Structure 1
Amino acid sequence: MIETFLIGTYTHKSSEGVYELQLDTDKKQLQNLELVGRAGNPTYVTESKAHKVYAIDAESEDGKKIGGLKIFDAAEKPFKELGKTLTPGTSPAYVTVDEARQFVYTANYHTGIVTVYKIESDGTLTTTDTAKHTGAGPRPEQQDGPHPHFSDLTPDNRLVVCDLGNDTVYLYDVSDDGKLTEHSRFNCARGFGPRHIVFNTDKNVAYLVGELGSGVAVLDYDAAEGKFSLRQSLSTIPSDWTAHNGAAAVRLSTDQHYLYVSNRGFNSIATFKVEVNGELTLIDQIPSEGDFPRDFNFNADEKFVILVNQNTDNATLYSRNADSGKLTLVQKDFTVPEGVCVAPTK
């Protein structure tokens, strides 16, 4: 069976934009990388059920940076460009689609702004609201101000935003007309640098990855109150690792039994077992077979995991044992230029 994935990239070297990658599950191999949409630094991409692709885009206008989203129609290849939503300043770090309410959300690491867009009938976007964060953290290299890195939905359809710069997780209520109202905040340990979060609906907990602290926090999520509270903190790297590392992507298996986190620096995927109470136990570390693995993702039945290494321009394929949760190397050194994001197509 052939499955396809969208690959978001930086375009500092040889990459030209958004790529499509095939996984042949019978042959257990990655194949047929194809450029499908030209864009500037499309570091995160997502596809709606209507087969519209929303990709981060960075351009320049009169010598000044502008950034936002480029919208593509994925019904044909290469993708047909439908429009752009670009504003002064650098581009966002994350984009996602709210199918139920037909919104798109972005988190802009550089400007500190979270944006809500309404999806129009043709797939293009209209801004409905923004939220500007403030504050800073103790780590001067990445906490000189607010840096929202992630904005996506909670299981009860609030918007959760991870701000790496000010060590805060925000919860927003979203109105039917796309307006944001701040509901609550969770303050992380200073210097944790919250980057991404996933939810375990069986255990009513969330798993929050801290890029700067190379850690994962288990948070109780009280949906009725709309609040987080800390239960457990673990490291994603060995205690004797002293070189630089930044924890990056986090994925939870559909059965919610295993959690995976990528490490950039230690260059690995950490595997955690989800215990009966929702807490985590580290059970494995497997090398990424490249440098600076930002993102990875499961295939449809979660028997495989695809990872991209940004600095070494390669993708790695693992098989996944659903019973043990452990990953096994299947293929490495498949060329993917400056890979940053792995997103299954719809």
Structure 2
Amino acid sequence: MLTGYIGTYNTASTKGIYQFSYEENSGKISDIQSFLSIDDAKCVDRYENILIITTSKNNKSGIALVDITTKTILDEILLENSSPCFVKHHDDFIYTANYHDGVVMVYQIVNNKLKLIKQISIQNKAGCHQVVLYKNYLIVP
């Protein structure tokens, strides 16, 4: 049995991150329950015992690191005008794509803290949907 996490858009009936169990042999998902109520957590990735999530607060957006065991926010960076639509980690780096702002952000995790490494401006309203890592390249569809 595996444990998974999924984020949601904010609606009247859903808010935040949900945890579920996944049975590999049957493909059955069960035990769906609220894990953490947090605004705009529509994208989730896991890094060791940390969830990397998108979030928004006070009209700013970005990402946060959440300790899975304690359900506490370890760190967050809110530098964008709208919430990223994609988050992915590779090694100690995190990549986000922001559809509305037209940017790709590159962060590094250092001692469970976020450090902004680079902001790549594609074009305002460019529709960046994800970041694909290929060899030494970042491909941004």
* TM-score for the superposition, normalised by structure 1: 0.39
Q: Within 5 Å, give how 1:23-62 maps onto structure 2.
A: 23-25=22-24, 29-48=28-47, 50-59=48-57, 61=58
- More off after superposition, 107-116 vs 6-15: 6-15
Q: Does the 8 Å contact 1:108/1:148 carry over to 2? A: yes
Q: How much does 1:25 deviate?
A: 4.1
* TM-score for the superposition, normalised by structure 2: 0.90
Secondary structure of 1:153's counterpart equals strand
1:109 counterpart residue number: 99
Q: How much does 1:108 deviate?
A: 0.7
Moved beyond 6 Å, runs of 4+: none
When residues 125 and 28 of structure 1 are mapped into structure 2, their CA distance, relative to the original with a 3 A threshold, is: closer
How far apart, CA to CA, are the structure 1 residues paired with 2:121 and 2:35? 33
When residues 38 and 124 of structure 1 are mapped into structure 2, their CA distance, relative to the original with a 3 A threshold, is: farther
Q: Does the 8 Å contact 2:53/2:65 carry over to 1? A: yes
Structure with the greater alpha carbon radius of gyration: 1
Q: How much does 1:119 deviate?
A: 0.9
Taking only aligned residues, the RMSD between alpha carbons, in angstroms, comes to: 1.8
Q: How much does 1:128 deviate?
A: 1.1
2:114 counterpart residue number: 125
Q: How much does 1:152 deviate?
A: 3.0
Q: Within 5 Å, give how 1:246-285 maps onto structure 2.
A: none
1:149 counterpart residue number: 129
How far apart, CA to CA, are the structure 2 residues paired with 1:26 and 1:133? 42
- More off after superposition, 37-46 vs 112-121: 37-46
Secondary structure of 2:116's counterpart equals strand
Q: Does the 8 Å contact 2:66/2:73 carry over to 1? A: yes
How far apart, CA to CA, are the structure 2 residues paired with 1:161 and 1:28? 31
Q: Within 5 Å, give how 1:192-203 maps onto structure 2.
A: none
When residues 88 and 108 of structure 1 are mapped into structure 2, their CA distance, relative to the original with a 3 A threshold, is: closer
C-alpha distance after superposition, 1:99-143 (max 9, x if no partner): 1xx21111111111111111111x2211111111127xxxxxxxx
C-alpha distance after superposition, 1:62-109 (max 9, x if no partner): xxx2100121011x15x221121112511101011121xx21111111
C-alpha distance after superposition, 1:199-243 (max 9, x if no partner): xxxxxxxxxxxxxxxxxxxxxxxxxxxxxxxxxxxxxxxxxxxxx
Secondary structure of 1:111's counterpart equals coil
How far apart, CA to CA, are the structure 2 residues paired with 1:40 and 1:125? 19
C-alpha distance after superposition, 1:257-293 (max 9, x if no partner): xxxxxxxxxxxxxxxxxxxxxxxxxxxxxxxxxxxxx
2:137 counterpart residue number: 158
How far apart, CA to CA, are the structure 2 residues paired with 1:87 and 1:29? 38
Structure 1 unaligned spans of 5+:
136-144, 163-346
Counterpart code for 1:71? L
Q: How much does 1:28 deviate?
A: 5.2
Secondary structure of 2:123's counterpart equals coil
Secondary structure of 2:130's counterpart equals strand
C-alpha distance after superposition, 1:272-319 (max 9, x if no partner): xxxxxxxxxxxxxxxxxxxxxxxxxxxxxxxxxxxxxxxxxxxxxxxx
Q: How much does 1:148 deviate?
A: 0.7
Secondary structure of 1:148's counterpart equals coil
The count of corresponding residues between Structure 1 and Structure 2 is: 141
How far apart, CA to CA, are the structure 1 residues paired with 2:12 and 2:86? 21
How far apart, CA to CA, are the structure 1 residues paired with 2:104 and 2:76? 17
